[in-house]
Amino acid sequence: MFKTLINIFRVPELRNKVLFTFFMLLIYRIGYHVPLPGVDQHSFQELAKNQDDSSAAGRLASYVSLFSGGNLQQSTIFGLGIMPYISSSIIFQLLASVIPTLEKLQKEGESGRKKIQEWSRYITVPLCVIQAVIWMSYMFNSSRQGGVSLIMPLFQRHYALGFWMMGVVSLTAGSIFLMWLGEQIDEYGIGNGVSLIILAGIVARMPGAIGLLSQQTTLTGQASGVHQITLGKIIFLVGCFIFVIAGSIMITQAQRRIPVQQAKHTRGRRIYGGQKQYLPLRVNHGGVMPIIFAQSLMLFPGVLFGWLAHGSGTGWFHDVMVWFNDQFSAGRGNNYIYILTESAMIYFFAYFWTTVQFQPKEMANQLRDYGSFIPGLRPGKRTSDYLEKVMMRITYVGAAFLCVIAVVPSMVTTNLGIDIRISAFLGGTGLLIVVSVALDMIQRIEANLLMRNYGGFLSSGVTGGKGKRIKGRQY
C-alpha cells in the first residue's frame, strides 16, 4: 500500500490531479467556517445550543447537512452546501424518464449530458434563493421565540432589508461556488467533485465524534452517566464498524452476472464473434437514493401531526406525532411503527428508482443490435421480461440491506446508550456515501497507475501485481 502511495507521486500528471483535488477540498473547508456578514455569531451559537434537535425541523437540518456538504445549523456562506445542485440534478434525472426531449438528449452522449448539466446549473440558482429565504425565515422566527436577536445592532437599526438581501445572496453565492468547485475537480482533479465535497463534510465530523467518545469513555467497567461508554462497548463499536463497512463494500460491489453469448459472423474465410461474456446487474442498483428519499419524507408526518396536535389540542394527534417523530421515541422504547413505515418507503423508492434508471427493453434491444443474446431466450421481449424479473428479485435483497443500514445507528443509540453523533458512523446515508466515493476514488487512481505499468492498491506480491481490482462506485 505504501509503495502504491509513493507511485502516485511519481507520476506527474496523477500527482497534479491529486494535489489539485486536495487544495480544492481545502478551500471548501476554509469557506465552511466563513460566517455570514451581519449575523451575531455569539447569539447564533447560543440559539443553536438551545434548539431542540429531536424536533422535525432540527432533524431536517441535521439530515440535510449530513449529505449536502454544508451545515444549516451554522451561519456560514456554505450553509446550504451542494444540496440545491443535487436536487436539480435529481429533478432532471426523473424528468428524463417522462419527457421525450430529455430522454433523447441523454442518448446523444457527451453533448446531451453537457446540455442537461447546463440546465441543471440554471435551475440551481432559484432553488438556492428559495432555500436561503426559508432558512433565514426559520432561524429568525426561532430567534424571536427564544428572545434572541441574531442581527448585529447596526443592521438591525438601519439596514434590516439590506441584511436579508445580503444573507440570501451570500448563501446563494456560496452554494454556486461549491458547484463550481465540484466541476473544477471533475475537470482538473480526480474523482467526482460533488461526491468528494460531500465526503469531506462527512469525514470532517469524525474527529469530533472521536473526541466525544474519549470524553464519555470510562475504564472502570461501570457506566455512571447517561452516555458513559465502557471498554466493552468500545470493542463492540470497533467490531460493529468493521463489520458494517465490510458489508457495505460487499453489497455495493455485489452483482448478478447474466451470461451473454455473442453470435458468430463469417466474413470471407474468417469467423468473428462467438465469445461468451457477462451482463452485470447490480444488487443495490438504487445506491443511496432510496434512503435519502425515505428518510426525507419521514420528516413531514411529524411536522404535520405536530401542527394538528398544537392547533386542535387532541391527544390522538400528539400520539401519532410521537410515533413519527423518530425511530426510537423517548420513553417508548423501539418505535416499530416508524421502523416499519420507513422500511416500506425504502422498499418503495428502491423499486421506484430502479424502474426509473433500469430500462430492460432498451438493454434487450441493444443486445439484439450488437448480435448478442442470452442463451435459451429469444432476443426482444423474452429477453426484456427476463432482465426485468431478475432485477426485481435482486432489488429485494438490496432494499433489505438498506433497511438494516438505516436502522443500525438508532438501535445502537437506544440499546447501548451511545450518543447518536458517535453511532451515526455505523450506518445510514453517510456511511454508504463514504464507502461508494472511496471505492470510486481508488478505482480512478488504480486506472491511472495501471496505464503507466504501476500496481494498484489491491495488487498482490504473490500474483506479480495482477491482483483483483475494485470495480468502483455502483450508483
- In this prediction, residue 396 carries a pLDDT of 92
Q: What is the mean pLDDT of the chain?
A: 77
Q: Quickly state the pLDDT bin for 465 (edges 50, 70, 90).
A: very low
Q: Quickly state the pLDDT bin for 409 (edges 50, 70, 90).
A: confident
Report d(CA 88, CA 96) in Å as an integer.
12
Lowest mean pLDDT across 286-295, 337-346, 391-400 = 286-295
* 359-388 pLDDT tens trace: 888 888 888 888 888 888 888 889 999 999
Q: Is the pLDDT of residue 332 over 50?
A: no
- In this prediction, residue 472 carries a pLDDT of 47
Higher-scoring residue by pLDDT: 97, 174: 174
C-alpha to C-alpha distances, 189 to 17, 21, 48, 185, nearest whole angstrom: 4, 5, 36, 4
Higher-scoring residue by pLDDT: 426, 85: 85
For residues 5-31, average pLDDT:
86
Radius of gyration of the chain (CA): 25
- In this prediction, residue 463 carries a pLDDT of 41
- In this prediction, residue 325 carries a pLDDT of 63
Cell 450506518 -> residue: 427
Nearest residue to 432 via CA among 456, 471, 395, 403: 403
Strands of the sheet containing 372-373, edge to edge, are 276-282, 255-262, 372-373
Share of the chain above pLDDT 90, in %: 8
Lowest mean pLDDT across 12-16, 272-276, 294-298, 471-475 = 471-475
For residues 67-88, average pLDDT:
74
Report d(CA 432, CA 140) in Å as an integer.
34
- For the chain, list the domains and their CATH numbers: 1-204 (1.10.3370.10), 212-475 (1.10.3370.10)
SS3 of the chain: the string is: CHHHHHHHHHCHHHHHHHHHHHHHHHHHHHHCCCECCCECHHHHHHHHHHCCCCCHHHHHHHHHHHHHCCCCCCCECCCCCCHHHHHHHHHHHHHCCCCHHHHHHHHCCHHHHHHHHHHHHHHHHHHHHHHHHHHHHHHHHHHHHHCCCCECHHHHHHCHHHHHHHHHHHHHHHHHHHHHHHHHHHHHCCCCHHHHHHHHHHHCCHHHHHHHHHHHECCCCCCCCCCCECHHHHHHHHHHHHHHHHHHHHHHHCEEEEEEEECEEEECCEEEECCEEEEEEECCCCCCHHHHHHHHHCHHHHHHHHHHHHHHCCHHHHHHHHHCCCCCCCCCCCCHHHHHHHHHHHHHHHHHHHHHHCCHHHHHHHHHHCCEECCCCCCCHHHHHHHHHHHHHHHHHHHHHHHHHHHHHHHHHHHHCCCHHHHHHHCHHHHHHHHHHHHHHHHHHHHHHHCCCCCCCCCCCCCCCCCCCCCCCCC
Q: Is the pLDDT of residue 474 over 50?
A: no
For residues 216-226, average pLDDT:
58
Phi then psi dihedrals of residue 229, to 5 deg: -115, 125
210 contact partners, CB below 8 Å, separation of at least 6: none
For residues 218-230, average pLDDT:
59
- In this prediction, residue 421 carries a pLDDT of 73
- In this prediction, residue 52 carries a pLDDT of 52
Beta strands 276-282 and 255-262 are: antiparallel
Lowest mean pLDDT across 60-69, 111-120, 379-388, 412-421 = 60-69
* 29-43 pLDDT tens trace: 888 888 887 776 666
pTM of this structure: 0.77
Higher-scoring residue by pLDDT: 434, 70: 434
393 contact partners, CB below 8 Å, separation of at least 6: none
For residues 415-442, average pLDDT:
78
- In this prediction, residue 24 carries a pLDDT of 92
For residues 185-213, average pLDDT:
85
Q: Is the pLDDT of residue 308 over 60?
A: yes
Lowest mean pLDDT across 88-92, 158-162, 200-204, 334-338 = 158-162
Q: Is the pLDDT of residue 393 over 70?
A: yes
User: What is the residue type of 159?
Assistant: Y
Q: Is the pLDDT of residue 49 over 70?
A: no
Q: Quickly state the pLDDT bin for 453 (edges 50, 70, 90).
A: low
Q: Is the pLDDT of residue 20 over 90?
A: yes
For residues 107-129, average pLDDT:
87
For residues 118-147, average pLDDT:
79
Cell 469530533 -> residue: 208
Q: What is the dihedral of CA 469, 86, 339, 351, to 10 degrees?
A: -70
- In this prediction, residue 390 carries a pLDDT of 92
Residue 157 burial class via C-beta count within 10 angstroms: exposed 0-12, middle 13-18, buried 19 and up: exposed
Q: Is the pLDDT of residue 58 over 80?
A: no
Q: Quickly state the pLDDT bin for 330 (edges 50, 70, 90).
A: very low
